[in-house]
Amino acid sequence: MENNDILKLLPYSPPFLFVDELLEVTEDRVVGNYLFSRDLDFYQGHFTDFPVTPGVILTECCAQIGLVCLGIFLLEAYISENKDSNISVGLSSSDMDFYHPVLPGEKVTVTSEKVYFRFNKLKCRVKMHNSTGKLVCKGVISGMLKLQEIE
């Protein structure tokens, strides 16, 4: 499965899509980027005089790149057999630590390493770095991936 194929299967669209590009996808790891555009709506109210990206949005970006994109790759054979299905994802747990703010206009890179994938539950260690290489956040994210038939 090509990286662009994975992006097309994501169950998100703007303004809630936090994946621009996948740089690497293997059975054990994924690396991807996202640019937090200055015109995103949440910056208008999240600290009026000094807008920063909310931690929940950083966690979502890590989950979309690190869990969902990797999960789609791992489910490739099943997805190929069930082309009339949509992917649904349920985040079951996240434990994130935050170290550095992400400002409007910053590009981040998320790296995720698979801890395990069984019974469609995926657990990953994720890290997010900004464009200067500073660690923004890291943690462990788990979720369930399921294919649902399109009706």
Q: What is the pLDDT of residues 15-57, one digit of tens each?
A: 999 999 999 999 999 999 999 999 999 888 877 789 999 999 9
Tell me which architecture the domain covering 3-149 has in CATH: Roll (3.10)
Burial (CB count within 10 angstroms: exposed 0-12, middle 13-18, buried 19+), residue 147 = middle
Share of the chain above pLDDT 90, in %: 68
Looking at 46, 100, 123, 125, which residue is catalytic? Answer: 46
Q: What SS3 class is residue 45? A: coil
- Report yes or no: 143 and 72 within 8 Å, Cβ to Cβ: no
Residue 114, pLDDT score: 98
Collapsing DSSP to helix, strand or coil, 41 comes out as helix
Distances, alpha carbon 30 to alpha carbons 2, 42, 74, 111, 120, in Å: 13, 27, 11, 6, 17
Q: Find how far residue 17's CA is from the centre of its chain.
A: 9
Torsion angle, CA of 66/94/40/137, rounded to 10 degrees?
A: -70
In the block, tokens 């640019």 appear at 35
From the CB of residue 134, how many other CB atoms can be counted at a distance below 10 Å? 12
Q: Tell me, yes or no, if 46 is annotated catalytic.
A: yes
User: Rounded mean pLDDT of 66-71?
Assistant: 95
